[in-house]
């Protein structure tokens, strides 16, 4: 396992992050703990959860699993989503964040969170209130670093600007959806993160299962893609372009002697600006497959083939700006 610094920080995280959204749901407690142990044995140190995953059960299981190796783990969790029926039980207000961090710390059986992330923008709360609260948490020692997730580029830049002017701690990372079949952040977010040195921790790096090769052009018979809702629903994945990407991925996997999931993850690991893709697994067999993305390099010719087939359409303003790029840039 290799390691990268998280954004502008001096925090070193493993090149893969283990996501725990299924812990306590489709992944049993025993398998969840075994999965974390295997991840650590492979050199992994970065775990991601959230206060709403399985209604807090994911955090509880993660807390049990890392209790005796807390200092070896970079622990990330999130706040923002609805955690109670109370009118203030949602959002990024000072009250909800302070209530949320204490509840997460209790479930995680720890006195600090390494990376505390806001799950999505809250249009009802001034971002200044949110950032001041997060800054206070870092000062208090309950939180070490802060990050965001599911932001527009303008929202991230606004937050960074306010943090700089106000001398608050700034977001060191963002957690967006990003994969071969979901590259919307290439339009603006990727270049912003490269410019501001914000770490990128992609979720759904294998397209919610679409890039595993289990699914054909026919309606799938099993897995999350049968869902009618969510980002990984079949109607969002089963497009002509995505199947062309999948065909190219399957060819690459066959050439390299790897599984499609390993190649999809490896493409992200080797992409500029990507810190640590978050992979999840419902079963230990899936974990063993995904962890096979480390320990090898994808040849540039294969990487470029995947890059080209999955690239977004050349649209405005990118194609307009490109015409006027100065030769020494």
Contact 69, 40 (CB under 8 A): yes
The model's pLDDT over 270-291, given as tens digits with 9 standing for 90+, comes to 999 999 999 999 999 999 999 9
The model's pLDDT over 62-119, given as tens digits with 9 standing for 90+, comes to 999 999 999 999 999 999 999 999 999 999 999 999 999 999 999 999 999 999 999 9
Residue 128 within any structural domain of the chain: yes
The model's pLDDT over 140-159, given as tens digits with 9 standing for 90+, comes to 999 999 999 999 999 999 99
Residue 156 within any structural domain of the chain: yes
Name the nearest CA neighbour of 263 among 287, 246, 241. 246
227 or 19, which is more confident: 19
Residue 328 within any structural domain of the chain: no
* pLDDT-based confidence at residue 323 (cuts at 50, 70, 90): confident
Residue 228 in this model has a pLDDT that exceeds 70: no
Residue 243 in this model has a pLDDT that exceeds 90: yes
Residue 215 in this model has a pLDDT that exceeds 90: no
pLDDT reported for residue 326: 84
Q: Is 168 a catalytic site residue?
A: no
Q: How far apart are CA 63 and CA 70, in angstroms?
A: 9
Provide the whole-model pTM: 0.95
**Residues in the chain, how many?**
329
Residue 30 in this model has a pLDDT that exceeds 70: yes
In the chain, the number of structural domains is 1
Which of 53, 116, 178, 215 is the catalytic position? 53
Reduced to 3 states (helix: H, G, I; strand: E, B; else coil), residue 158 is helix
Show the domain range for 256. 3-323
Mean pLDDT estimate for the chain: 95
Residue 219 in this model has a pLDDT that exceeds 90: no
pLDDT reported for residue 72: 97
Whichever domain contains 285, its CATH number is 3.20.20.100
The Cβ of residue 254 has, within 10 Å, a number of other Cβ atoms equal to 11
Residue 329 within any structural domain of the chain: no
Q: How far apart are CA 303 and CA 268, in angstroms?
A: 10
pLDDT reported for residue 222: 65
pLDDT reported for residue 329: 60
Residue 65 within any structural domain of the chain: yes
The model's pLDDT over 31-59, given as tens digits with 9 standing for 90+, comes to 999 999 999 999 999 999 999 999 999 99
H-type alpha helices, the chain: 29-41, 57-66, 94-108, 127-140, 153-166, 189-196, 234-237, 240-256, 260-269, 284-290, 300-310, 318-323
């Amino acid at each position: 396992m290799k390691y990268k610094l998280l954004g502008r920080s001096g925090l070193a995280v493993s090149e893969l992050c283990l996501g725990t959204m299924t812990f306590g749901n489709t992944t049993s407690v025993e398998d969840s703990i075994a999965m974390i142990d295997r991840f650590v044995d492979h050199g992994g140190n970065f775990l991601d959860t959230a206060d709403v995953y399985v209604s807090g059960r994911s955090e509880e299981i993660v807390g049990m699993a890392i209790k005796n190796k807390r200092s070896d783990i970079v622990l990330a969790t999130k706040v923002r989503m609805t955690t109670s029926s109370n009118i203030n039980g949602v959002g990024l207000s000072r009250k909800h964040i302070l209530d949320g961090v204490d509840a997460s710390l209790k479930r995680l059986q720890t006195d600090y969170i390494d990376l505390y992330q806001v799950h999505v923008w809250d249009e009802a709360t001034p971002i200044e209130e949110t950032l001041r609260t997060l800054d206070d948490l870092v000062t208090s020692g309950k939180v070490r670093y802060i990050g965001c997730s599911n932001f527009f580029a303008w929202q991230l830049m606004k937050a960074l600007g306010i943090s700089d002017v106000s001398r608050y701690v700034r977001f060191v990372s963002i957690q967006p959806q990003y994969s071969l079949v979901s590259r919307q952040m290439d339009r603006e977010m990727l270049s912003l993160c490269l410019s501001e040195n914000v770490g990128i921790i992609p979720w759904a790096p294998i397209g919610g299962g679409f890039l595993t090769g289990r699914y054909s052009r026919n309606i799938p018979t099993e897995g999350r893609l049968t869902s009618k809702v969510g980002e990984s629903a079949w109607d969002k994945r089963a497009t002509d372009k995505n199947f062309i990407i999948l065909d190219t991925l399957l060819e690459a996997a066959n050439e390299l002697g790897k599984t499609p999931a390993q190649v999809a993850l490896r493409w992200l690991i080797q992409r500029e600006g990507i810190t640590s893709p978050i992979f999840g697994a419902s079963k230990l067999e899936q974990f063993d497959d995904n962890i096979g993305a480390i320990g090898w390099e994808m040849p540039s010719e294969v990487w470029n083939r995947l890059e080209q087939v999955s690239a977004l359409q050349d649209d405005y303003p990118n194609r307009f700006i490109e015409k006027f790029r100065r030769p020494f840039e």
